[in-house]
């Protein structure tokens, strides 16, 4: 193993070559006759490969003699007062290099030399500017301040300099424009300026650069390609322009900061997710050579760390350092590399729990043994099979942590990872030493776009468009390896996905979820909170609420309002009638229809991102357990099954399984029996209503 540098890759290692080639093709074939510049943006979070795809695109265009490419990293000049001055200097250096190249070939370099010199003059005019006010066409009214004056400047000199600038700076700008245009025409070349790491600059510098592109360099034959995390730049624009919540959304459901960027950026695209197979093969596998169970280790590293190249490189460097620590202490013969990988993953993913294992190593031995043991057939969630006698540690292991423990400690051959206290002491100490030495790892949270539910009108339209209608009739209810036939008396409508965090927050005013993302399902919801949501949504849209007597907060005292036609929870029977996935779907294509322990990456996932039923209902299986209006007692349709609704009993039925569930438990028959006052990060709900007319 060797250290992995966080530098751009000369070759495509993560499956982005098709996006790179498409970007280069788009730039090559874009219209060069327009009267202004073209600005493109490549969006992606930090560490996802933006610099690499920009560098590789630049290399492709460099091979085309029709282009002049320039690379500019504004982060390197973040402390400069004028970021545009730095950009002009960078372009001037590129033109100066071209002038030398042209001269060596025997051609006339005057056009390049002239542009290079004018760029330098313009850069100085921006950088060393006395305080004057003047109007510059295309730039507007500008105030200049001598921010870098020398001590040798006396008052008289400053006044003289101000007079010179006042008379000449406008001419300098227009002279620059003319030279740039003439140079491009003379050489018949287009200037492609790649601007990387804009999202790392201060808000002030970010705004200066964005506005400068449209004011100073909005010229024909110029193409600017920006690489940035759009959520960070949009947040900077929002704060810089003082956009408050009242004006944040425009009538077309786009934020004002997005509309602002649209005036500067003519085209943008988000980097695709890295190809998992290529990430394993090109980034991770070379550092696991000679390891036993290499394919299994590749899988758990990707599951635990993700596919962000920067995150993976950081983990691999930490793993490399752990190995060096072990070799220094114990020697090569005693190294169990697989145990080292798994302990490093535990330290990376669960650092707080891992420190508890350092204090109580026997607890990790017990947890490892419980995961390796044969699972109880009734176990529905990962937390059901993770066991330790240590009460303090046991209380720390919720469903999310249990899933991660299962991913890291479960061996395909059924063998236990950690068999003894001495083994735990060796590898836990090494992993913690490496983590402490290299620093804590922070995973950058992502923000997603969300449906905009601004006013009652758009909210009502969204709600109405999201219901799927089902007709009354019989439905088979699986019970203890047999089935009962239940009757649903009325037609009903079921929401096509669980309630999202965006919708819940729009109606209730806050978001209780553990995995915060507006497009993920709301979770950490009790049954009482779910029916309260139904009533508040009904009132908001002018419908008679379905539930009554919620003020008591006691599930047994909740009753159905007479004549209530508002939103409610579905019964178990209604849920089952809507869940029309076939046995083949469940046995052969489960990963395509449900988020569960093997594919959910220890978290809920965004709604409607997998295949729905034929009727168009998403996420019926997996992601989150869903509250129903049914009690757990089967009684020929008279207690919670079919169209009969009940709030009797001390427990409620949940359906559908969740991200914490094992594959064998994700089915129509999966059924939770839960206290209506409990809330978990794997439990949410969807709404229903009885059809009228």
Assess if residue 444 is contained within a domain.
no
**What is the tens place of the pLDDT at every residue in 82-102?**
677 788 778 777 877 776 665
Q: Over the stretch 158-180, which tens digit does the pLDDT of each residue have?
A: 455 455 544 555 455 556 666 66
Q: Is residue 3 part of a domain?
A: no
Q: CB under 8 Å to 571, separation ≥6 — which residues?
A: 488, 628, 629, 630, 640, 641, 642, 643, 644, 645
Find the range with the poorest average confidence among 195-209, 425-439, 604-618. Answer: 425-439
533 or 66: whose pLDDT is higher? 533
Is residue 312 located within the same domain as residue 242?
A: no
Structural domains counted in the chain:
3
Distance CA 173, CA 223 (A): 20
Residue 362 has pLDDT above 80, yes or no: yes
Are residues 40 and 117 both part of a single domain?
Answer: yes
Are residues 311 and 245 part of one domain? no
Q: Does one domain contain both 482 and 432?
A: no
Residues 14-30: what's their mean pLDDT? Answer: 91
Please indicate, yes or no, if residue 667 is contained in any of the structural domains.
Answer: yes
- Please answer whether residues 80 and 88 qualify as being in contact, where contact means their C-beta atoms are separated by less than 8 angstroms: no
Q: Which string of b and e fits 205-223 if b means at least 16 CB within 10 Å?
A: bbbbbbebbbebbbbbbbb
Q: Which of 404, 438, 472 is the last residue of a domain?
A: 438
Does the pLDDT value for residue 565 go beyond 50? Answer: yes
pLDDT score at 385? 75
Tell me: do 98 and 115 sit in the same domain.
yes
Question: What was the pLDDT predicted at 507?
Answer: 93
Indicate if 218 and 295 belong to the same structural domain: no
Q: What are the C-alpha distances in Å from 566 to residues 141, 430, 528, 539, 562?
A: 58, 59, 16, 8, 11
Taking 50 as the threshold, does the pLDDT of residue 252 lie above it? no
* Judgement on whether residues 287 and 264 belong to the same structural domain of the protein: no
Position 631 scores a pLDDT of 83
Q: Is 450 part of any domain?
A: no
* Domain CATH code at residue 674: 3.90.1580.10
Q: Higher confidence at residue 110 or residue 221?
A: 221
Residue 53 within a domain: yes
Residue 157 covered by a domain: yes
* Position 594 pLDDT exceeds 90: yes
% of residues, the chain, pLDDT over 90: 27
- Of the three residues 403, 438, 473, the one that is the final residue of a domain is 438
Nearest-angstrom CA–CA distance, 541 and 565:
12
259 lies in the same domain as 119: yes
Specify whether 82 is located in the same domain as 190: yes
In this predicted structure, the answer to whether residue 506 has a pLDDT above a threshold of 70 is yes
Q: Of 23-37, 166-180, 233-247, which gets the smallest average pLDDT?
A: 166-180
Cβ neighbours, 10 Å, residue 659: 29
Q: Number of C-alpha atoms within 13 angstroms, CB side, residue 214?
A: 13
R_g over Cα of the chain: 31
Print the domain residue range for 30.
Answer: 17-270
98 against 51, higher pLDDT: 51
Question: Do 254 and 323 lie in a common domain?
Answer: no
pTM: 0.61
Could you report the per-residue pLDDT of 306-342, keeping only the tens digit for each? Answer: 889 988 998 998 888 888 888 888 777 778 888 889 9
In a domain, 449, yes or no: no
Shared-domain flag, residues 205 and 89: yes
The whole-angstrom separation of Cα 155 and Cα 171 is 25
CA gap 51, 76 in Å, rounded: 14
Give the mean pLDDT of 492-518: 93
pLDDT value at 298 more than 50: yes
């Amino acid at each position: 193993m060797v250290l992995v540098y966080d530098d751009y890759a000369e070759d495509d290692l993560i499956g982005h070559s098709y996006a790179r080639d498409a970007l280069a093709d788009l730039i090559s074939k874009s219209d060069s006759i327009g009267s202004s510049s073209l600005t493109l943006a490549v969006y992606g979070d930090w560490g996802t490969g933006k610099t690499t795809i920009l560098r590789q695109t630049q290399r492709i265009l460099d091979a085309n003699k029709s282009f002049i490419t320039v690379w500019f990293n504004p982060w390197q000049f973040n402390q400069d007062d004028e970021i545009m001055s730095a950009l002009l200097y960078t372009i001037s250096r590129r033109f100066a290099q071209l002038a030398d190249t042209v001269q060596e070939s025997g051609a006339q370099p005057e056009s390049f030399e002239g542009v290079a010199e004018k760029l330098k003059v313009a850069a100085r005019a921006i950088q060393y500017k006395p305080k004057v006010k003047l109007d510059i066409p295309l730039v507007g009214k500008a105030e200049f301040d001598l921010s870098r004056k020398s001590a040798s400047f006396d008052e008289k000199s400053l006044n003289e300099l101000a007079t010179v600038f006042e008379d000449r700076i406008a001419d300098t700008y227009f002279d620059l424009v003319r030279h740039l245009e003439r140079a491009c025409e003379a050489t018949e070349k287009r200037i492609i300026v790649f601007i990387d790491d804009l999202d790392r600059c201060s808000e002030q510098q970010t705004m200066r650069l964005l506005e400068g592109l449209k004011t100073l360099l909005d010229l024909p034959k110029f193409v600017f390609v920006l690489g940035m995390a759009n959520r960070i730049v949009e947040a900077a624009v929002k704060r810089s322009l003082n956009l408050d919540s009242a004006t944040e959304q425009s009538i077309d459901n786009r934020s004002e900061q997005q509309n602002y960027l649209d005036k500067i950026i003519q085209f943008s695209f988000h980097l695709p997710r890295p190809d998992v197979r290529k990430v394993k093969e090109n980034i991770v596998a070379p550092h696991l050579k000679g390891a036993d169970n290499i394919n299994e280790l590749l899988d758990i590293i990707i599951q635990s760390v993700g596919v962000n190249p920067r995150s993976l490189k950081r983990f691999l460097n930490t793993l490399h350092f752990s190995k060096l620590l072990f070799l220094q202490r114990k020697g090569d013969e005693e190294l169990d590399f697989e145990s080292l990988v798994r302990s490093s993953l535990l330290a990376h993913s669960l650092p707080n729990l891992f420190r508890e294992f350092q204090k109580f190593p026997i607890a990790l031995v017990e947890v490892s043994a419980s995961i390796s043991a044969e699972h109880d057939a009734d176990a529905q969630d990962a937390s059901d099979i993770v066991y330790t006698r240590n009460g303090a540690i046991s209380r720390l292991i919720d469903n999310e942590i249990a899933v991660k423990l299962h991913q890291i400690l479960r061996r395909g051959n059924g063998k236990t990872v950690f068999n003894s206290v001495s083994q735990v002491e060796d590898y836990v100490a090494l992993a913690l030493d490496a983590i402490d030495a290299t620093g804590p790892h922070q995973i950058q949270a992502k923000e997603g776009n969300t449906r905009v539910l601004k006013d009652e009108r758009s909210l009502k339209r969204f709600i109405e468009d999201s219901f799927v209608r089902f007709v009354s009739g019989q439905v088979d209810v699986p019970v203890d390896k047999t089935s009962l036939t239940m009757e649903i008396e009325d037609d009903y409508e079921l929401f096509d996905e669980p309630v999202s965090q965006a919708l819940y927050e729009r109606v209730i005013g806050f978001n209780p979820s553990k995995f915060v993302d507006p497009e993920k399902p709301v979770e950490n919801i009790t049954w009482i909170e779910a029916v309260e949501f139904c009533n508040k949504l009904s009132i908001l849209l002018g419908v008679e609420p379905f539930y009554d007597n919620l003020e008591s907060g006691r599930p047994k005292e909740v009753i159905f309002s007479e004549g209530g036609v508002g939103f409610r929870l579905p019964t178990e029977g209604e849920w089952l009638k809507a869940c029309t996935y076939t046995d083949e779907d469940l046995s052969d294509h489960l990963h395509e229809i449900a988020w569960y322990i093997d594919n959910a990456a220890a978290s809920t996932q965004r709604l409607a991102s997998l295949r729905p039923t034929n009727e168009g209902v998403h996420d019926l299986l997996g992601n989150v357990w869903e509250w129903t209006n049914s009690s757990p007692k089967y009684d020929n349709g008279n207690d919670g099954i079919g169209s009969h609704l009940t709030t009797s009993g001390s427990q409620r039925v949940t359906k559908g399984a969740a991200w914490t569930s094992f594959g064998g438990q994700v089915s129509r028959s999966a059924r939770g029996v839960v206290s209506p006052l409990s809330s978990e990060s794997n439990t949410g709900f969807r709404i229903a209503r009885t059809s009228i007319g």
